Structure 1
């Protein structure tokens, strides 16, 4: 009878359509991996930023990280589904369940690529900042480090420290989330493409456990949230917040997000945020120098102020307590993720921000780009 007539399913409820769309996005990713101009024609960066902006504003209405709970729910569901698959081998319905899992995986892949994944194929931020890719010499790297050290030493005199003489934030870390937004507001006055209102960064509830992985922040593509470990040292905390906010603005590569964190920090009026961004740049630049010239590295290290040295020692001691197998496994997982998205050097790409720093320093003649 008509009352009991079966209702038609919506077109998007058909699993094969999600699998097909995921496949199409995968092909698009392959076609645009070495052709960022094609991607920009099909899916402009401005569209992507608008999508993340809307998504992050919606999820930003909730004070806790929805992405963190989304992750936990999916891990739990994965374990349950794996057990169910084994059971269905003997009770029947194995392929039906497998099809359902494949459909859901395709949906996740589709959302990931649409919100964030395709950004790995976009042109470098050099185009936005009028920088040219150039290889510089070790002598020029030394000049960069000398300038960064001078800047770090000067800023260190203007920030607060605790009873042990170590840099400390006087604000709650939740307040830094709001203050970091002010940095992007100032930066967007010179580079409007990075402006707009996004959801504020959020602390990760499982931050203490995250210390064992060495991970200080995570961008959640499925919710548009910039999530930060709130149980780590203060030294790089503001810089980490700015880094994850850079991902919100469609900057996928880690080296570029690191560089953006330094750049935006230099636009901020608050010295502790400037200091944190400068220390992020200095650590990366000095690590690059260490690989090139250990003797000069040691000589430059001695020019650090005593306050900067105390901050670095405290930072190192803090994470020494968390080193172990979990940290190593997490690094391997992160390395695999980065390489799968086109970052061929894997975790080493975190140090490649030095190329951008050198290009800015040598081509613009200054560390603080566009700030008077």
Structure 2
């Protein structure tokens, strides 16, 4: 019996070592071999979402959330088990249970690291997106930024009057966000071929109240190949959030690139509501980028300075006030505390993956938009 256990343990260790070696080799290849990570993003991700993503997409609930719930449960059990072991170390049965639990933890961590490498970390080494191949990257002026800002504001004002609204003046969508988002992504796959292929349905998160406290519209689960969206966000945010998370599934892992893909998909969809959502997505990023230059505008620029209308101001929200009341009433921890912890975690995670400016990288979409509109607006 002891010989069998030793042999089984040896096999377990060998398998773990093999997986860790593969994981390390993949990370090294992505870092040192030019073009390898880009090839991986272009080809492997289509296979992953078309197979594993198709499998997890068979159920309507978020498999990733279930995985996270189980992970938290196992972590709590492990900590409590190790503490109890101090008092129950004489029990052979309990020692065997803790050993089994620790082996399970190690196995799960090992497999998760491999999946995260394949579906997430390697993608940070892929070549950046080119928003406008016909122009060379350059520094843009404050005047060009103002032109971009005015264009975005004008489009927001225009489409705010084209969307359907209820009796209270709040925007409503009468279509299916899931299908509209998938069609919008496929529509721009001629521009970015990586976006072609299969898309699973975006899933609404069970823990949407917690996501709201984190000020997160959605989340990409690499270990379940799922695009998840906060079910409580205001509907104007839905189209761009759906497209943003779907872009991660097809290998665009950087947040600014996902924002740009989302903008492009929505504004080229032919659907007024989707188009409105796309422009609203980047409104604050562009406005905030221009804010430091606002005081130095000349008279001509001040005269042309576009102002958002009342509908846009009303729609420029994360959650409705009623939804915020619902979230806050059921909160166990204050939103301020949760939000700060979430920002710190996201910032650290991005920096560990080579994104030097961390959470601020979301706003880099302004640079992509300036380049995209080069030759169109200025």
TM-score relative to the length of structure 1: 0.85
Distance verdict in 2 for CA 1:6–1:95, change over 3 Å: closer
Aligned pairs, number: 359
1:56 matches 2:53: yes
**Structure 2 counterpart of 1:232:** 233
CA contact (8 A) 1:15 1:103 kept: no
CA contact (8 A) 1:217 1:228 kept: yes
Q: Structure 2: how far apart are the matches of 1:298 and 1:366?
A: 18
1:81 matches 2:78: yes
Compute the displacement of 1:101 (Å).
Answer: 2.8
Compute the displacement of 1:359 (Å).
Answer: 0.5
Partner-residue secondary structure (3-state), 1:324: helix
Distance verdict in 2 for CA 1:242–1:135, change over 3 Å: same
**Structure 2 counterpart of 1:221:** 222
Compute the displacement of 1:76 (Å).
Answer: 0.9
- Among residues 27, 39, 44, which one is paired with 2:37 in the alignment? 39
Partner-residue secondary structure (3-state), 1:218: strand
CA contact (8 A) 1:243 1:261 kept: yes
Q: How does 1:3-42 map to 2 (within 5 A)?
A: 14-26=12-24, 28-29=26-27, 32-33=30-31, 36-40=34-38
CA contact (8 A) 1:56 1:223 kept: yes
Q: Structure 2: how far apart are the matches of 1:66 and 1:359?
A: 38
Compute the displacement of 1:137 (Å).
Answer: 1.7
* CA distances 1:225-277 after superposition (whole Å, capped 9, x unpaired): 10000111112111001000000111111110001000111221211011001
Q: Report which stretch shifted further, 80-89 or 195-204.
A: 80-89
CA contact (8 A) 1:34 1:121 kept: no
Q: Structure 1: how far apart are the matches of 2:258 and 2:58?
A: 25
Structure 2: runs of 5 or more not aligned: 90-94, 329-334
Structure 1: runs of 5 or more not aligned: 368-372
**Structure 2 counterpart of 1:370:** none
CA contact (8 A) 1:212 1:326 kept: yes
Q: How does 1:121-270 map to 2 (within 5 A)?
A: 121-126=125-130, 132-171=136-175, 175-270=176-271
Q: Structure 1: how far apart are the matches of 2:120 and 2:336?
A: 31
- State the Cα RMSD in Å: 3.3
Q: Report which stretch shifted further, 129-138 or 8-17.
A: 8-17
Q: Report which stretch shifted further, 334-343 or 21-30.
A: 21-30
Distance verdict in 2 for CA 1:98–1:65, change over 3 Å: closer
- Among residues 92, 101, 105, which one is paired with 1:101 in the alignment? 105
Distance verdict in 2 for CA 1:326–1:319, change over 3 Å: farther
Distance verdict in 2 for CA 1:313–1:125, change over 3 Å: closer
Compute the displacement of 1:64 (Å).
Answer: 1.2
Q: Structure 2: how far apart are the matches of 1:344 and 1:298?
A: 35
CA contact (8 A) 2:45 2:119 kept: yes
**Structure 1 counterpart of 2:332:** none
